[in-house]
Structure 1
């Protein structure tokens, strides 16, 4: 999808006017990390980015969407990777692990911006209150994938337990890296290693879990 050009306000000193959705986002995340998400106003974001409120709303329906749209983009990419591998002959949990790591690899950057957005999520009580629904969708992609591969229903105990365990391990790794200023691609081997240990155990469980009758 092509981007519309943001019309800047009158020239000002300091940061040059933002000219894209990503640039407005970068300015906003910097403010969120410095001042806090709740304390940062929309007026402060538009002033720092050098855009009008009208221009801002061309890209974002709300302040919270500045953070969530990247998360939604990441989740969609994760779902595509799972879908592309759903009928491959590899072990189920190897495919889940590869999709988790692959989805992160697609969005992570050397500057650490992706982890900065995650830090904003972790530090904001307002954003955390809406986080459960976002992560629930992520877990459901895993549960549906496992269910399809093993002849189960997504709401069954086994797919839901697997999805919950992978999600918990994934969050644990991300939180461990929050203290690193610019984790960048270095996070990926760490994530792959920790998920591999868990996924090997879960694969063993899947191999012995009872299948539904009929």
Structure 2
């Protein structure tokens, strides 16, 4: 009987998830700072170089999923005419959080104390918030909004996106969705309406 050839190692699709799962387990067990990339690779059953095929750093394990969504939002916000349409702006922001499954970042926000991640999350959130705020501000300026107002709008809308994700994760995945949090939060900044 001839058997089909088996691939060597883990399938590529599951390796990313396996590494992320191993990282989160270790962050919970021994804390973020005390966990090395070598520890993560060993727990996941992959080589250190395999780790770097999927993630650029230990922090990237947490943020890569959201980063991909923010990259897409920044591209969408740069499209001509986007800043002139408040509904389109809200759709771009909703796409960042829509269908977001519980992932390593959600787990990190929900278990920041146990994982020793408060400073890491604060620092890395600020970087993503700043990137999204800059893209929003630029879209507003392209639509004719004066610089200070555009910067305030960009900052406010970016805060709402990251805060919606954090509040949802801290409340537990069984409490609605990050998109529901965003839809709940956007009206709170109506005095800063886009138009």
Alpha-carbon distance change, 187 to 130 in structure 1, aligned in 2, over 3 angstroms: closer
After the TM superposition, which residues 18-167 of structure 1 pair with which residues of structure 2 at under 5 Å, given as runs? 19-84=14-79, 86-87=80-81, 92-106=85-99, 108-109=100-101, 112-113=102-103, 114-119=105-110, 123-126=117-120, 128-150=122-144, 152=146, 156-167=147-158
Counterpart position of 1:188:
179
User: Structure 1 residues 131, 151: closer, same or farther in 2, change over 3 A?
Assistant: closer
- Following superposition, the deviation at residue 50 of structure 1 comes to 0.6
- After superposing on structure 2, the runs of 4+ consecutive aligned residues of structure 1 that deviate more than 6 Å are none
- TM-score normalised by L of structure 2: 0.75
Q: Which structure dedicates a bigger proportion of its chain to helix?
A: 2
Tell me the distance in 2 between the aligned counterparts of 1:45 and 1:61: 13
What is the aligned partner in structure 1 of residue 3 from structure 2? Answer: none
Give the aligned length: 183
- Normalized against structure 1, the TM-score is what? 0.69
Find the aligned partners of 1:60 and 1:187 in 2 and give their Cα distance.
24
| 1:151, distance to aligned residue in structure 2 (A) | 5.4
In 2, distance between residues paired with 1:146 and 1:6? 51
Indicate how the Cα distance of structure 1 residues 151 and 139 shifts in structure 2: closer, same or farther if over 3 A, else same.
Answer: closer
Q: Whole-Å Cα distance in 1 between the matches of residues 106 and 162 of structure 2? A: 12
- The verdict on how the C-alpha distance between 1:6 and 1:58 changes in structure 2, with shifts beyond 3 A counting, is farther
Structure 2 gap segments, 5+ residues each: 1-6
